[in-house]
Amino acid sequence: MFKILLPAVVLIASCLGSPVSNNRRFPNDFLWGVGSSSYQIEGGWNADDKGESIWDFLTHTHPEKIVDGSNADITADSYHQWRRDVQMAKELHVGTYRFSLSWPRIMPGGYMNHVSTAGIKYYSNLIDELLRYNITPMVTIYHWELPQRLQELGGWTNPEIIPLFKDYARLVMEMYGDRVKMWTTINEPWHVCEHGYGADYMAPSFNYPGIPAYLCGHNLLKAHAEVVHMYRDLFQQRQKGRIGITLDTSWPEPKNADSAEDREASERAMQFYVGWFGHPIFSKHGNYPKVMIERIRNLSKEQGFGVRSRLPEFTQEEIRRIRGTADFFGINSYTSNLVTSNGHNNTGKFPVPSFNHDMGVVESQEGVDWPGSGSVWLKAYPKGMYNLLKWIHREYNAPEIIVTENGVSDRGGLDDYARVDYYNSYLDAILNAIEDGVNISGYIAWSLMDSYEWKAGFTEKFGLYHVDFTSPKRTRTPKISARVFAQICKTNEIDWSFRPTLDDQQLVALAQLPAEEIDTRSSGASNIVGWSLLSIVLLTFLR
């Protein structure tokens, strides 16, 4: 049905003056990339002399915390299949590949006393292979893979993490900085701290709300700043690279746009989610957002914690040292939520104390008609991405922004037209922001291939490439979205009419898909898109 309708849809959409007939171009120097992270794709969890990470420990000791009870011991096996990974990036015509380093693969115990030659060589080979094809490595120093031995010292809640992270960063800058020109220190610090320590969610899964997350954030910001100062003092002038950080959020859309209270809840959510780490680095005066300092201090006092706030205080010297420590603003975002105020009666039923109770915002996606995905939390609302980018632009005096992650999940298959629609619509929103003056220099699609999705295990797929996790070689096959994204990167424009069908290679791979992926494919997002197009055709003829 879909193939039959497509020509009519394109013709009708063209007559109606839709984006199909007017392909929109990005700036000529726009940076296109694709991303991954070490724990999610590498496997080789104990290969050579790699140390144990907090995710190795969590998935091995508490498999019940993972939806399908799985782990990433092998996952996509990029520790052995890295050449194919680079070929995939080349096929996508991207200029950048964003990947992360595994701290325990390079320094098994987290300390300088044991550096793995095999770990150093693995990333060196990957970097060289990327450069061979003129693909710029964008390296994340920390994407949630803390050595388990350091977690046993308290992890990010222990100030000792600051010099240890600096040692690790200095080593990788010495090893790779001659070839790596784009660094990010830490990926998504909110997740590192709140989901790692405040909730029973990401490793180390502490489930200790309201206190350790703020200790984590305090140490993480100081560690980030020390690494950036070290890079600028010792490496940047001769290595000619840039360094930043990647924050994340879902856009908080006021539940009722006419409600001043809901608009205030939206702003407060942005200050807590993005401002927690963005304000100390990117704002004019530094430090935590005023609303965060005041609310946590006041609630701490009400809750009987005495005069000390649960949010630690920076000294004036620390505020000065952290402010300005980024050459660009990395932002990851996938979806939006409707928000309203929690109120004094704690309608959100949040633990007291907790980050959510301190923020005082209730989030939901109930009642929205936004397209869904393979993840219960992820619904497509492109305007939210536009709003987010405009907010960062206004709040932090027009920093250079790189969208370092954006993408959508499904439950499997190759004919992922819903992902095509997601990318087209979100890129359209990003282009709207650029045209409205926001300084966005690049876009990194998430993700290169299907991989281990943290607590969701292998049940949710974000990849442009399908991975056969039953194959010894973890065979990778491009999805429809890979061909569309490659076209976008190659032409620098969104072409809504480009909707290729499965080619021979993809049809062969399709025949070998597990039954659950075939079932998902036949009843899932691609059929929703087909029916949506049918609706367009019918409505047009009925006018």
Find the catalytic residue in 405, 453, 460, 517. 405
pLDDT of residue 521: 47
Give the type of residue at 293. I
Interacting residues of 448 by C-beta distance below 8 A, sequence separation 6+:
34, 35, 36, 41, 85, 88, 89, 92, 97, 463, 464, 465
DSSP state string for 269-323: HHIIIIIHHHHHHHSSS-SS-HHHHHHHHHHHHHTT-TTS-SSPPPPHHHHHHHT
Question: What is the number of domains present in the chain?
Answer: 1
Q: Examine residue 21 and state whether it is found in any structural domain, yes or no.
A: no
At residue 519, the pLDDT reads 56
**Between residues 379 and 509, the one the model is more confident about:** 379
Whose CA is closest to 139, among 280, 282, 281, 33? 33
- How far does Cα 212 stand from its chain's mean position? 23
Taking residues 351-373, report their average pLDDT.
98
Q: How many CB atoms lie within 10 A of CB 291?
A: 18
Quick: pLDDT tens for 118-127.
999 999 999 9
DSSP conformation class of 367: T
Give the mean pLDDT of 19-45: 89
Q: What is the mean pLDDT of residues 184-209?
A: 98
| pLDDT, averaged across the chain | 92
Domain with 279 in it: 31-511
Q: What digits encode the pLDDT tens for the residues 324-353?
A: 999 999 999 999 999 999 999 999 999 999
Confidence of residue 539 (pLDDT cuts 50, 70, 90): very low
Report which of residues 304 and 509 the model is more confident about: 304
What are the tens digits of pLDDT across the range 150-174?
A: 999 999 999 999 999 999 999 999 9
Band of residue 455 on the pLDDT scale cut at 50, 70, 90: very high
Instruction: Identify residue 379 by its one-letter amino acid code.
Output: K
* Nearest alpha carbon to residue 303 among 361, 358, 359, 265: 358
Give the closest residue to 146 by CA, choosing from 57, 82, 66, 222: 57
**pLDDT higher than threshold 70 for residue 524:** no
In whole angstroms, give the CA distance from residue 533 to residue 372. Answer: 17
Of residues 103, 362, 143, 375, the one with CA closest to residue 248:
143
Predicted confidence (pLDDT) at residue 413 exceeds the cutoff of 60? yes
Which pLDDT value is given to residue 516?
A: 74
Whether 368 is covered by a domain: the verdict is yes
Residue range 58-91, pLDDT digits in tens:
999 999 999 999 999 999 999 999 999 999 999 9
The answer to whether position 14 is within a domain reads: no
Residue 529 within any structural domain of the chain: no
Q: Exposed, middle or buried: residue 522 (CB in 10 Å: 0-12, 13-18, 19+)?
A: exposed
**pLDDT of 520:** 53
Whether residue 319 contacts residue 287, with contact meaning beta carbons closer than 8 Å, is answered with: yes
Residue of higher predicted confidence among 533 and 279: 279
Structural domain contains residue 206: yes
- The answer, yes or no, to whether residue 3 has pLDDT greater than 60, is no
Question: What does the pLDDT read at residue 531?
Answer: 31
Query: For 460, phi and psi rounded to 5 degrees?
Result: -120, 135
At 113, the pLDDT band (50, 70, 90 cuts) reads: very high
Burial of 452 (C-beta count, 10 Å sphere; 0-12/13-18/19+) = buried
pLDDT in tens, 284-319: 999 999 999 999 999 999 999 999 999 999 999 999
Give percent of the chain with pLDDT exceeding 90.
88
- Report the alpha-carbon distance of residue 197 to residue 513 in Å, rounded: 38
Please, which pLDDT band fits residue 5 given cuts at 50, 70 and 90? very low
Is 232 a residue whose pLDDT tops 80? yes
pTM score of the predicted model = 0.93
In eight-state DSSP terms, residue 449 is B
493 is catalytic: no
The CATH number of whichever domain residue 297 belongs to comes to 3.20.20.80
pLDDT digits over 414-437, tens only? 999 999 999 999 999 999 999 999
Q: How much is the average pLDDT of 487-515? A: 92
* pLDDT score, position 537: 35
48 within a domain of the structure (yes/no): yes
d(CA 363, CA 315): 33
